[in-house]
Amino acid sequence: MTGPSPRLEVRGLSAGYFGAAVVRDLSLTVGAGEVVALLGPNGAGKTTTLRAVSRTIAPMAGTVLLDGRDIGALRPQDIARAGLVHMSERRGVFHGLTVEEHLRLHGLDPALAHRYFPELEPLRSRRAGLLSGGEQQMLGMARALARRPAVLMIDELSKGLAPVIVERLLPVVRRYADESGAAVLLVEQQVQLALETADRGCVLSHGSLAEHDTAANLLARRDVLVSSYLGATAL
Ligand SMILES: Nc1ncnc2c1ncn2[C@@H]1O[C@H](COP(=O)(O)OP(=O)(O)OP(=O)(O)O)[C@@H](O)[C@H]1O
């Protein structure tokens, strides 16, 4: 199954640690304006996949194409310049800097960030360390979106956050993809919320693709999802 022409194409990716592969021969695509949820139980290899795509770790095998261009030879900072932004679980927030300073780092335009998260405006002079977890996650996302990525990869937006905050953040991801035509690859443990946001879902199990379908079909096939998770409680 293919979506619109892929902005991100991963072919035969294998990656892991200390010579042992935890992701094996993984292929997936994300098209323009598409949100693809990368799902699977703890330890399935979701974070490792994102790290290998952004070359935070060196893949063992495989090719990653960004708008048709092989990014294998690029350094991580050049990959970011080419339009791929990887929001890791650490949120990229510096406790000693104010909200405003974050939104101006690297020449970003705060107005762009405020378009997506107007609630950050009254907090502009507050140090990030004094923000709530949800506000910090908004700040991390606002920075990522203000960079206008062509491909955005987000690792566990919901980590440590109340569902009501996740319900605020995920529609912004959807809106960004719709408005910008960016490709979004979303790793998320909140399966229901992720599939309500995404167009398609890929379920990883032990480092390999176990299921791949439209989000609507995956939501309707809960039995298949549950068996992919082998008793995980995220549903
Ligand atoms: N830095 C690391 N060094 C060694 N092994 C690691 C490292 N990071 C992850 N692993 C291992 O790789 C496997 C896949 O981990 P990964 O974090 O990619 O899974 P995940 O699907 O993102 O899980 P979770 O949902 O729990 O975050 C796990 O067995 C994990 O212990």
Mean pLDDT computed over every residue of the chain:
90
- Could you state, in order of their start, the residue ranges of all structural domains in the chain? 6-230
pLDDT in tens, 95-110: 899 999 999 887 788 8
Residues 14-73 pLDDT 10s: 999 999 999 999 999 999 999 999 999 999 999 999 999 999 999 999 999 999 999 998
ipTM of the shown complex: 0.96
Q: Please tell me the distance between residue 195's alpha carbon and the centre of ligand 1 in angstroms.
A: 22
- For 75-83, which contacts have Cβ atoms below 8 Å and span 24 or more sequence positions? 79/54, 79/55, 80/147, 82/150, 83/148, 83/149, 83/150, 83/151
Ligand 1 site, CB within 6 A? 17, 22, 40, 42-48, 189
Instruction: Specify the range with the lowest mean pLDDT, choosing from 73-77, 119-123, 179-183, 189-193.
Output: 73-77
Find the 38 Cα to ligand 1 centroid distance in Å. Answer: 14
The correct answer on CATH 3.40.605.10 for the domain covering 6-230 is: no
Measured distance CA(60)–CA(25) in Å, rounded:
10
